[in-house]
Structure 1
């Protein structure tokens, strides 16, 4: 059985004794030091699997020790012990490279959780030149994607809140999921939520849960997103869409590491890694007063930028082939390949919608191409209304072509178009007595395109 070793650095004998007893009971051997000088002497001869250091030490600052270990012993996670309420100090330590922090007076249950998470990180020493992607989520060989993979691998070793910035469709959730899967919380839940998709009146209940009977419609107890992510990662996508009232409550939950369900009188502790993202400029929103500066400070401990697809065009062919293989598997069709002129045309495109737009273009082309080959003409790029994926331009095109088809007022465009498509397919199938080959010919599409649409619409 492997024996773990931890270094405890604190000038208060009582704190050192408490930490030493707690870790010993967990089966961890301990080394202790009252100051930075003594700690560095021990570190020159040993490589402990964990370091716990007080922030205020007789001969310096705990952050100095964090920085030294980051440089000379990067495989050793460091947790900083801060004074109660010193959130600014805790954030400073996380920015310096600390794994996590714990506040005085030290809660032993919280300390044990921290230690167990840290020990999961000590399998191998990270290599600065390693750009592997073990989960296989971030595809590409460009320098930008290699740098991003390297950054996410390093950030996975920390518990610091990460703010992921990038355009819509660039893969922010994939980056968040990769951080989760490569970190010590990989066995816990990964809960992703689009903040802009939750009605403001339901936000508190969705995030923090509620007790049965706390409001009309609360027929059962509900955990909420924070408690559902306990022991894992909570990813808040489009965090800029949170209303100011909810921002205040979110800030308190982050600071206190506890939530109060609607209708409850007590707070419940939660242990989560918080990741957030938006395509908007949060710094500008702070200046405009629509996003709280204190919340921005808490979630933006480390910022990670996701490059747009137009900045890594060398990856387009690899991404496109991967997407086509996935589409073929999902719809149980033969795979399609891209001709060279199609590849060249994709590389010329600017992709304002990034990878999500590439997926939509290929999914459409997959159903239109002949002989399992997608040519440049099948891509329909830069021509016709709706090439940019805009709902308004699509609706305008339909209105001009078939003015009687589009009803007045607001509509769910996607659902409306699917209903028209479903009706047309049903009529073709009925007219051909459910002969799919004949129905496809009647509809003027390939047999594969019909199979694709039947599966997509759930009509099989």
Structure 2
């Protein structure tokens, strides 16, 4: 295996050692530098494949190393790490050509995923540049959208060639930045995937790995959490311009059923024709079935046969060959399929087939500061769309957004911010603009979730709920400090490994670590 050279730049000695230990298992050559000047000396002496730099976004010269590398060593990828949210710096870093902007310290799995992806894209770009003319060798699409600390990109550009990602403000990558093969306008750029919370970033990192395979994937999550965006993320990892066919399971059943008075044989023929039509349209690409639990019995049989066919293709080794007639299946559900199996509404054999590879989109209420990031993203988008001079939120408005538990998740937040932008006639959205929008939801939520709990004043939450977030953050900090070593983390927190495992599962912090080792 080719060993790439990685230069880690971090002014903090302990942080430098921690980053080095996180990446040692990848088998690459690691160089270290305490500051930009030392990094430049190393680069002039021996160029590297990747620069991983921890910088303070508050410093005016924090992006000088990035600018230098992109100008003098255009084929060297740069991954930056910011210790805190700074939307303007993130936007500028991506505009200047950063391959990714991560939170510092980042979970080991997320860091390795970003490094692997940046190295892979650089290698593909170099191979395409160095290939002899006439051989038709071109850079392949990246394994998936690069993880960003902030936004995941702007609306589709009118240009016929789009970069794989862009920055939080919608700026495209510079012309000298390595680009993947152009993709269709459906590239996943929805703000649902914006965020710094570890639960989201690790799911995206895992999706980046799964994007390179043809495995059937089941995406679970509450309504509005971004399951469709994750499906497109998986599709565009390797499918390039191949078709992406999305349909709701209930619509598929209705279209196949036809006239309720039709003969059973005719209904069966309609169902078979409709299913075959969808597979034909998705040939060589992806068929995404939303809310798979709503499929009727006959379509469940059709789906089971297709999944079995995919498994047979994979077992026979044909998956690496011509896939022009094969269809990748991505399914989603907001229902508990295991419960549907117990109720006899979903086939048990199908459930076991499709649930072996599963992603769970975290609800917005478990994503901490992501509410503020998403709100700002939607504010910027709708201010441009409606040509409104709305430049931000007041402090009380942000507090209102943080207190709401978002039963409708990101989809609800998007609607709330859209209405607030339309209603706002000043430069900033205030709590007054949000109150009429959120109060009806808050009342409905209280009736649904508290069941008799007395109304709590603003700012007061149930004690158990209020204590969960500090506990989650303590566990995350301990895991990061100890390179996600569960045994050492449990010892440091003075709990047993079983308790730690249960808490990691509760807070959606579990990641299959070996998947990230090259």
TM-score, normalization by structure 1: 0.49
Q: Bigger radius of gyration, 1 or 2? A: 1
**Larger RCO, structure (CA 8 Å, separation 6 or more):** 2
